[in-house]
A and B are shown apart, each in its own frame.
Chain A
Amino acid sequence: MALTMRMNLYISNFNSKSIKKVFLLSRPFLVCISLFALSELAALNIGERMIDEARQIVRYKRNWSRQKGFFKNKNDNNKFCILFFGNSTTVSGIIPEVLDEYGSGVTSTYNLALPVLPLAPHYFMLKDYIQNNKIPDYIFVEANILTRSVGRSFRGGVLPNYIIQNAGFIEVLHYVCASGNLHILKSYLVPSMAYKREIRNYFISKALKVLPERFSDLHRKLYIWKLSAKEKYPHNWDFVYNNRFIDHEKRRHEVRDIILKSRGYYEFKEFAIIGGKLPDDFIKPEEGDQARDHKNVQEFDPFIYRFLDLAEKEGIKVVVFNKYLMGGRLKKKNRGYLLLDSIRSINNKILFLQNSFEDCYYEPKYFSDPAHLNNRGAKEYTKNIFEGFKAILENTDGL
């Protein structure tokens, strides 16, 4: 405005004629701004309709954390407490109730995995848990989150469209300052950027309804070709396509039900805003022990030493397990498998869930999308995890 007024002074003396001229010249820009505002409202709306599973989970956790009523400690002091940490594969793969059932009621399990997040928030969550609850007996950590996913650890923790879920402006600013990633702020201010994929899927699914069948067939073929080429697994992939473009609403409700009914979660505090600043033990990317060569896939997250030291100090046993994959995926892609020896070299007290490293491949029928298990698959996987755990117990002191 100040600039426009200043410009106006250059045109002529400030009078009604020049104001009119400024207005007339500015009309297209006003239209542009109005359309932009409308588009962002629409983007928010579409983002809600087409929300993906991981975003749903992060959002639920934040909401619950704000309502302060989320964590119901089902743990009583006589039971053995087991915590699970990991990514979205652990979120969808471990069902605490199923594990407790196999544990004949002597275990009390919590799935604290956070989709898309690196080790840092898990570390702060563990610290918070220890301060406020009975110290857990075992923590299960998915091998993948111990590694530094290139780029991810440098972003202050999360990918932009997850970080902004239900976050306040100040909170987002803290993330931006901590990570130096301006994209987070842009995504926060411009929902179209954050929900790009959702908007694309929304319009595609709308278009598929009105376009002739041959176009939707072509789209289905191309999508499934792209998917199967990546997965290298001969299978009918229609279910993935349907989940994404046809039955999206149904899938969304399923996920919500899983979150609400079948998983136990812990209050998710935003580590970036504790006391209005980053906690003292937050490691900036450039300060991490492993910050140098981030091209190496076997490199670890900068938080790994703090995470393991904290567990050791509190006398918690750490069990590392490997994430599952779809049967046809190349084994070399499973980074956890490659990490076994490296993890051992860091801390020789860590236990390994041997069967998860040897056989963690499942049929496509157990998956809801190429990377995540459905409820049926999760039951199988949890059972396998328990079997592996049992083997560990037999070789150690037991529960």
Chain B
Amino acid sequence: MLFNSFQFAIFFIIVYGLYISFNHKWQNRMLLLASYVFYGAWDWRFLSLIVISTVLDYYCGIFIHESGSEKRRKYFLTLSIVGNLFILGFFKYYDFFAVSLKDLFLVFGVPIDPRLLNIVLPVGISFYTFQTMSYTMDIYRNEMEPTKKFLDFALFVSFFPQLVAGPIERAKHLLPQVLNDRKLSLEKFYEGCYLISWGLFQKVFVADNLSRIVDPVFASGPPYNGAKVLLALYAFAFQIFCDFAGYSNIARGLGKCMGFDIMINFNLPYFSTNPKEFWRRWHISLSSWLRDYLYIPLGGNKRGTVIMYRNLAITMLLGGLWHGAAWTFVLWGAYQGFLLILHRLSKPFLSRIVVKGRIAGRIWFFIRVFMFFHLVCLGWLFFRAQSMLQIADMIKAVIFNFDLHNWQNLTLILINLILCIWFLLLMQLFQFIKNDLFYCFKLHWAVQGMIYFLIFYITLTYGVNNANEFIYFQF
């Protein structure tokens, strides 16, 4: 059941109707049932994985909290982490590692034939396993107390708006909202409607239309036209952003309508001037999860420069692998780690550049944004390419085969790209200048109305009608 489908609209109207009619206790029970129905609509068999993960972390949380000895606490924490990572590793990475191992042995001339499972990847497995792990880890760190209410905990794990593609909520943020009475208000309802509309605009209009530019280029074989590859990369940068941010916004909007406050996952990431800032703006829930539960436990930046670089590299490599079981994702993670390390190394030199004057300062800022955007786009090539060979061919094409001979075709692609992103860029520019994602709500009501109309009209009329899956579902 996709957010951009008619079935989901019907589903949500029914759920919402019941939700506002029930009291808190029954709201939670109904939401839990709705979440299981929502997930079961994909494949009911994989519901068992959610249930296993829920039961495991529910009891581990309680045992960690009640255990007197540090050894037992560690034991239950390890059980929770190993259990979740086993589910994730088995269903997501088993085949990948088996094939990689086979290739590795083949390099040394030893043919092996590991048995492949060919299991369909359960939707959203990376998201909910990380979410439940944060619960036991927070209890272990004494940052929160476990809940005794199993059904409420189960709702925290499987809350349908953010179940399959995040944001990866923290227990200490979402669980209290599940446990306590939630207040509904018209302001929140309208904010939720705005977020849902904006998210649908990002997904149905921007991302799905851009996929028509991106997909043919990546589906074709070499020789590539460098100019076309570059345009496809620009298009993909906005496609993946709008696909994922669109989902997050819809999730936040649905939550807001029901009185939940789901965390912001994207905060104008393409206005970043460096990789550190980028990761504070892009997929915030994952990057902060990796920072808190991986980078800092590894030592963070407290144990010397070399260890810090090592930690950055490990964190980003695993972050890359989290996105998918393929070497292209590992390469993407490594590239992001490399950018972060490079940024740290070059910081002393960069800080020496001082640009005086307001206008000059702004121009310098936009030059940095522009340059870093291209570095991000290079990363998106690793992320989107189907093989290492394709990455090499495409980079070669951009450098050595930048052919503008077929200018008509390139102009049409460029016009389509601009038509898809102009409104998004305009809105984001205002949000960035005012430093407020909800700037729209502070405008005069007539202007607000016009903006809502444009969002609604463009989505309805020019959006892609057949409900396409969100890219991040595969992760």
B185 in the interface, Cβ–Cβ < 8 Å?
A: yes
Name A31's contact: one of B445, B462, B465 (CB within 8 Å). Answer: B445
**Tally of B interface residues using CB under 8 Å:** 26
Contact A221 B408, beta carbon cutoff 8 Å? yes
| Nearest CB of A to B18, in Å | 12
Residue interface mask A169-196, B partner, CB < 8 A = 1? 0000000000000110010001011001
Question: Taking chain A's interface residues, is the majority helix, strand, or loop, or is none over half, making it mixed?
Answer: helix
**In the complex, A27→B445 CA distance in Å?**
6
* Cβ contacts under 8 Å, B142 to chain A: none
Contact A182 B6, beta carbon cutoff 8 Å? yes
Residue interface mask B179-204, A partner, CB < 8 A = 1? 00001111101100100000000000
| Nearest CB of A to B331, in Å | 35
Tell me the nearest residue of chain B to A43, going by C-beta: B461
B404 in the interface, Cβ–Cβ < 8 Å?
A: no
* Cβ contacts under 8 Å, B189 to chain A: 7
Residue interface mask B366-391, A partner, CB < 8 A = 1? 00000000000000000000000000
Name B186's contact: one of A21, A28, A39 (CB within 8 Å). Answer: A21
* Cβ contacts under 8 Å, B462 to chain A: 196
CB proximity to A under 8 Å, residues B426-475:
445-446, 448-450, 452-453, 456-457, 460-462, 465
Contact A31 B450, beta carbon cutoff 8 Å? yes
Contact B186 A11, beta carbon cutoff 8 Å? yes
* Cβ contacts under 8 Å, B412 to chain A: 222, 226
Contact A25 B186, beta carbon cutoff 8 Å? yes
**In the complex, A226→B450 CA distance in Å?**
35
* Cβ contacts under 8 Å, A75 to chain B: none
Could you say which of B183, B186, B187, B456 has the most chain A C-beta atoms within 10 Å of its C-beta? B186
Tell me the nearest residue of chain A to B452, going by C-beta: A32
**In the complex, A4→B186 CA distance in Å?**
8
**In the complex, A234→B249 CA distance in Å?**
50
* Cβ contacts under 8 Å, B453 to chain A: 31-32, 35-36, 39
* Cβ contacts under 8 Å, A34 to chain B: 449
CB proximity to A under 8 Å, residues B142-196:
183-187, 189-190, 193
A22 in the interface, Cβ–Cβ < 8 Å?
A: yes
A8 in the interface, Cβ–Cβ < 8 Å?
A: yes
* Cβ contacts under 8 Å, B465 to chain A: 183, 186
Known: A196-B462, A221-B408. A29 touches B186 (CB 8 A): no
* Cβ contacts under 8 Å, A27 to chain B: 445-446, 449
* Cβ contacts under 8 Å, A21 to chain B: 186
**In the complex, A183→B6 CA distance in Å?**
11
**In the complex, A6→B462 CA distance in Å?**
33
| Nearest CB of B to A164, in Å | 15
Contact B450 A222, beta carbon cutoff 8 Å? no
B67 in the interface, Cβ–Cβ < 8 Å?
A: no
Tell me the nearest residue of chain B to A190, going by C-beta: B460
**In the complex, A6→B257 CA distance in Å?**
13
| Nearest CB of B to A22, in Å | 6
Tell me the nearest residue of chain A to B184, going by C-beta: A10
* Cβ contacts under 8 Å, A36 to chain B: 453, 456-457
B401 in the interface, Cβ–Cβ < 8 Å?
A: no
A225 in the interface, Cβ–Cβ < 8 Å?
A: yes
A30 in the interface, Cβ–Cβ < 8 Å?
A: yes
**In the complex, A225→B6 CA distance in Å?**
38
Contact B457 A192, beta carbon cutoff 8 Å? yes
**In the complex, A21→B190 CA distance in Å?**
13
* Cβ contacts under 8 Å, B6 to chain A: 182
| Nearest CB of A to B403, in Å | 16
Could you say which of B6, B412, B457 has the most chain A C-beta atoms within 10 Å of its C-beta? B457
Residue interface mask A202-231, B partner, CB < 8 A = 1? 000000000000000010011001100100
* Cβ contacts under 8 Å, A222 to chain B: 408, 411-412
* Cβ contacts under 8 Å, A221 to chain B: 408
**In the complex, A222→B408 CA distance in Å?**
6
Contact A7 B185, beta carbon cutoff 8 Å? yes
Name B461's contact: one of A4, A6, A8, A190 (CB within 8 Å). Answer: A190
* Cβ contacts under 8 Å, B187 to chain A: 25
**In the complex, A32→B247 CA distance in Å?**
23
Contact A192 B448, beta carbon cutoff 8 Å? no
Known: A10-B183, A193-B461. A32 touches B20 (CB 8 A): no
Name A29's contact: one of B184, B190, B457 (CB within 8 Å). Answer: B190
Tell me the nearest residue of chain A to B463, going by C-beta: A193
CB proximity to B under 8 Å, residues A1-55:
3-4, 6-8, 10-11, 21-22, 24-32, 34-36, 39
**In the complex, A301→B411 CA distance in Å?**
39
**In the complex, A32→B408 CA distance in Å?**
38
| Nearest CB of B to A3, in Å | 8
Contact B449 A7, beta carbon cutoff 8 Å? no
Contact A226 B408, beta carbon cutoff 8 Å? yes
| Nearest CB of A to B176, in Å | 20
**In the complex, A320→B90 CA distance in Å?**
59
Contact B452 A29, beta carbon cutoff 8 Å? yes
**In the complex, A34→B445 CA distance in Å?**
13
Residue interface mask A224-265, B partner, CB < 8 A = 1? 011001000000000000000000000000000000000000
CB proximity to A under 8 Å, residues B412-429:
412
Contact A196 B461, beta carbon cutoff 8 Å? yes
Known: A7-B189, A182-B6, A192-B457. A28 touches B184 (CB 8 A): no
**In the complex, A125→B197 CA distance in Å?**
44
**In the complex, A26→B194 CA distance in Å?**
12
Residue interface mask B323-347, A partner, CB < 8 A = 1? 0000000000000000000000000
Tell me the nearest residue of chain B to A191, going by C-beta: B461
* Cβ contacts under 8 Å, B446 to chain A: 27-28, 31
Contact B449 A35, beta carbon cutoff 8 Å? yes
* Cβ contacts under 8 Å, A190 to chain B: 460-461
**In the complex, A221→B450 CA distance in Å?**
35
Contact A6 B452, beta carbon cutoff 8 Å? no
Contact A28 B452, beta carbon cutoff 8 Å? yes
Contact B448 A28, beta carbon cutoff 8 Å? yes
CB proximity to A under 8 Å, residues B12-28:
20
Contact A192 B449, beta carbon cutoff 8 Å? no
Contact B460 A192, beta carbon cutoff 8 Å? yes
Contact A10 B185, beta carbon cutoff 8 Å? yes
* Cβ contacts under 8 Å, B186 to chain A: 4, 7-8, 10-11, 21-22, 25-26
| Nearest CB of A to B459, in Å | 11
* Cβ contacts under 8 Å, A10 to chain B: 183-186
**In the complex, A251→B456 CA distance in Å?**
34
**In the complex, A22→B185 CA distance in Å?**
10
**In the complex, A226→B446 CA distance in Å?**
41
Tell me the nearest residue of chain A to B446, going by C-beta: A31
**Across the A-B interface, the 5 shortest Cβ-Cβ residue pairs:** A31-B449, A28-B448, A32-B452, A35-B453, A28-B449
Chain B residues close to A by CB (< 8 Å): 6, 20, 183-187, 189-190, 193, 408, 411-412, 445-446, 448-450, 452-453, 456-457, 460-462, 465
A-B contact pairs, 16 of them (CB 8 A): A7-B189, A10-B185, A10-B186, A11-B185, A25-B190, A28-B452, A29-B190, A31-B445, A31-B452, A31-B453, A35-B450, A35-B453, A183-B465, A192-B457, A196-B462, A225-B408
